């Protein structure tokens, strides 16, 4: 069940009405049951895996808290880490490992014919394992009390709005919300609906429409004109933003209908003017997860500037590997790691007194991010190198016909995509102080609000893509 398909538009109102109809004590069980049902609608065979993950970390949390000795606490955190990371290793990386090892041995002259196991990646496993791990790690650190309620813990890990693609919540933020009686907050729920509408627009109109043009431009990088590759790369930057930020907006808005607050996941990342700032704005829940549970335990910035840079690099490398089993993801992580590690630390608002300089910085930063997206989007390193090579060739010898064909390609409406992106950027810039662009509509007259809601919904109907385009982050 995906957020932009009709089953969800039946599921959500039913759960919403039931949730606010039943007594408080039944609400967490309802959310847990609804979430498990939501997850099983993807593939019921992976439901036991999710439940197993919940039970192990719930027990580990209690085990850590009740342990009388440091050794027992370590044993329990070890159980949690081995279980969650083990699940990730088996389901996400085992086939890749087998394939890579066989390729390497063959390259060294050994003749091996190892078959991969054909393991299917359970949807959302990277997200819920990390969310669950954050709980046991916080309990281990002593910054969080363990919950005794398995039901509440299951509801926290499996909470359907953010189960399959985040935001990756912290127990300290979300788990307690399940323990607190929920009272209906009209303003919060309305704002949630507005945020969902914006997310749906980003996904169906921007991301999905860009997807077709990106697929065409990037399918054969060796033989495609460099300007088309450049246009495809820029469009992919907005495809992945519309896709993932759209999903996050829908998730956060959906949780608000039930009175829950999820953390912000995107804060206008393409307005960042430095690598550090970009990562404060992009996939915030993952960036802060790696900061808190990898970078800081590695030593953070406590051991001098050189060690800090090494720690930053390693953290980003791991973040890249988290995204997928493939060398291109590791390179993507390393690429960003190198930039963040080497970039001078600047305050986010530095340069704001000189808007032209700030705009140039933002544009340069966007191009750096796009170079990273080339690796992220590529099927392998070969494709990424071919794309970079093609773009480099085009930039070295600019040709007007090529530029026109790539950016004003009339039959494919590439120009219309860029126009739509410009509109989205203008809206997000105008509303950059808000967590989502539709928040300030609450202060507008009713007629203005409804016209904007209607226009946005009509845009989804008129311009939304009809073919199925899966959410990109569901594959991670």
Partner 1 sequence: MDDRPTTLEHPLRLSARVAAFLALLAAATFGLDAGLWALRDRGVRLLPEAPPSEVDLLYAGEGRVLYLGDSVVGWIPADEPGAASLGGLVAETSPRPVALAASAGRGPHYVAAQLDLLLARGIRPACVVVPVNLQSFGPTWERNPRVQAEDLRRAFTSGTWLPTRALFVLKVEFGQTSFDEWLQTPVVVAGRVRGNVRSMEHDESLPAEVLGGRRLVARYAADLGVSRWLPLLSAAVERVAAAGIPVVVYITPVHPGHPSHAVDPADRAAISANLDILAARFSLPGVTFRNFGRGLSHEDFDSSLAQPNGHLRLDARRRLAASIAEAIRAAVQVTR
- Residue 114 vs 450, nearer CB to partner 1: 450
- Residue 59 vs 457, nearer CB to partner 1: 457
Query: What's 113's DSSP letter?
Result: -
Phi, psi of 416 (to 5 degrees): -65, -35
CB 454, min distance to partner 1, A: 6
Q: Any contact of residue 454 with partner 1 (CB under 8 A)? A: yes
- Residue 362 vs 457, nearer CB to partner 1: 457
- Residue 360 vs 458, nearer CB to partner 1: 458
- Residue 2 vs 312, nearer CB to partner 1: 2
Residue from 112, 184, 408, 423 touching partner 1 (CB under 8 A): that is 184
Distance CA 403, CA 192 (A): 41
Residue from 47, 90, 310, 457 touching partner 1 (CB under 8 A): that is 457
| Interaction pattern, residues 381-420, with partner 1; x per rule: CB under 8 A | --------------------------------x--x----
Distance CA 42, CA 164 (A): 10
Distance CA 286, CA 282 (A): 9
Q: Where does this chain touch partner 1 (CB under 8 A) — which range of 33-41, 151-159, 189-197, 243-251?
A: 189-197
CB 182, min distance to partner 1, A: 8
**Catalytic site residue 323?**
yes
Residue from 108, 186, 397, 447 touching partner 1 (CB under 8 A): that is 186
Distance CA 283, CA 360 (A): 23
Neighbours of 18 (CB within 10 A): 15
Residue from 69, 183, 223, 353 touching partner 1 (CB under 8 A): that is 183
- Residue 23 vs 305, nearer CB to partner 1: 23
Cα–Cα nearest to 394, from 233, 229, 235, 222: 229
| Interaction pattern, residues 1-40, with partner 1; x per rule: CB under 8 A | -x-xxx--x---x--xx--xxxxxx---------------
Among residues 113, 173, 283, 323, the one annotated as catalytic is 323
Residue in the structure block whose two tokens are 């494709």 = 383
Distance CA 152, CA 218 (A): 45
Q: Any contact of residue 423 with partner 1 (CB under 8 A)? A: no
Q: Any contact of residue 465 with partner 1 (CB under 8 A)? A: yes
Phi, psi of 111 (to 5 degrees): -100, 100
Distance CA 385, CA 222 (A): 9
Query: What's 269's DSSP letter?
Result: G
59-68 CB contacts, 8 Å cutoff, 24+ apart: 60/136, 60/139, 61/135, 61/136, 61/139, 61/146, 61/147, 61/153, 62/146, 62/148, 64/136, 64/139, 64/140, 64/146, 65/139, 65/145, 65/146, 66/146
Residue from 33, 193, 343, 358 touching partner 1 (CB under 8 A): that is 193
* Stretch 43-82 residues interacting with partner 1 (CB under 8 A): none
Residue from 136, 204, 274, 311 touching partner 1 (CB under 8 A): that is 204
Q: Angle at Cα 96 formed by Cα 91 and Cα 97, nearest 5°? A: 100
CB 466, min distance to partner 1, A: 4
Residue from 48, 109, 118, 181 touching partner 1 (CB under 8 A): that is 181
Give helix 208-218 / helix 414-430 axis angle, nearest 10°. 130
Binding site for partner 1 (CB under 8 A): 2, 4-6, 9, 13, 16-17, 20-25, 181-184, 186, 189-190, 193, 204, 413, 416, 450, 453-454, 457-458, 460-462, 464-466, 468
Q: Which residues are catalytic?
A: 323
């Amino acid at each position: 069940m995906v957020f932009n398909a009709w089953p969800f538009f039946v599921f959500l109102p039913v759960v919403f009405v039931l949730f606010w109809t039943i007594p408080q004590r039944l609400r967490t069980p309802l959310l847990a049951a609804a979430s498990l049902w939501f997850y099983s609608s993807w593939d019921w065979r992976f439901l036991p895996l999710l439940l197993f993950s919940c039970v192990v970390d719930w027990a580990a949390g209690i085990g850590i808290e009740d342990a009388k000795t440091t050794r027992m606490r370590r044993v329990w955190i070890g159980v949690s880490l081995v279980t969650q990371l083990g699940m990730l290793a088996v389901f996400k990386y085992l086939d890749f490992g087998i394939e890579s090892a066989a390729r390497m041995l063959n390259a060294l002259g050994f003749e091996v014919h190892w078959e991969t196991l054909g393991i299917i990646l359970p949807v959302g496993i990277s997200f819920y394992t990390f969310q669950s791990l954050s709980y046991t790690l916080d309990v281990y650190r002593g910054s969080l009390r363990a919950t005794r309620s398995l039901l509440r813990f299951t509801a926290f890990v499996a909470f359907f709005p953010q189960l399959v693609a985040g935001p990756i919540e912290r127990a300290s933020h979300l788990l307690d919300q399940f323990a607190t009686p929920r009272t209906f907050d009209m303003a919060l729920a309305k704002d949630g609906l507005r945020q969902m509408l914006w997310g749906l627009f980003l996904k169906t109109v921007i991301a999905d429409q860009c997807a077709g043009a990106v697929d065409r431009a990037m399918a054969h990088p060796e033989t495609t004109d460099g300007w088309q590759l450049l246009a495809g790369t820029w469009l992919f930057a907005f495809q992945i933003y519309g896709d993932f930020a759209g999903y996050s907006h829908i998730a956060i808005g959906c949780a608000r209908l039930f009175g829950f607050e999820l953390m912000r996941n995107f804060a206008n990342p393409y307005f960042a003017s430095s690598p550090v700032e970009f990562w404060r704005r992009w996939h915030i829940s993952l960036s802060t997860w790696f900061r808190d549970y990898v970078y800081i335990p590695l030593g953070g910035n406590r051991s001098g500037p050189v060690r800090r840079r090494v720690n930053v690099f390693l953290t980003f490398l791991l973040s890249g590997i988290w995204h997928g089993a493939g060398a291109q993801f590791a390179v993507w992580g390393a690429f960003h790691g190198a930039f963040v590690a080497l970039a001078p630390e600047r305050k986010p608002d530095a340069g704001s007194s000189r808007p032209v300089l700030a705009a140039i910085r933002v544009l340069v930063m966007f191009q750096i991010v796009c170079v990273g997206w080339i690796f992220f989007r590529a099927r392998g390193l070969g494709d990424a190198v071919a794309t970079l090579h093609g773009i480099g060739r085009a930039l070295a010898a600019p040709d007007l016909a090529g530029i026109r064909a790539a950016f004003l390609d009339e039959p494919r409406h590439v120009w219309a995509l860029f126009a739509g992106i410009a509109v989205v950027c203008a809206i997000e810039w105008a509303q950059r102080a808000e967590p989502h662009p539709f928040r300030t509509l609450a202060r507008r007259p009713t007629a203005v609000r409804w016209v904007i809601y209607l226009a946005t919904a009509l845009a989804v109907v008129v311009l939304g893509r009809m073919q199925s385009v899966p959410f990109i982050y569901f594959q991670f």
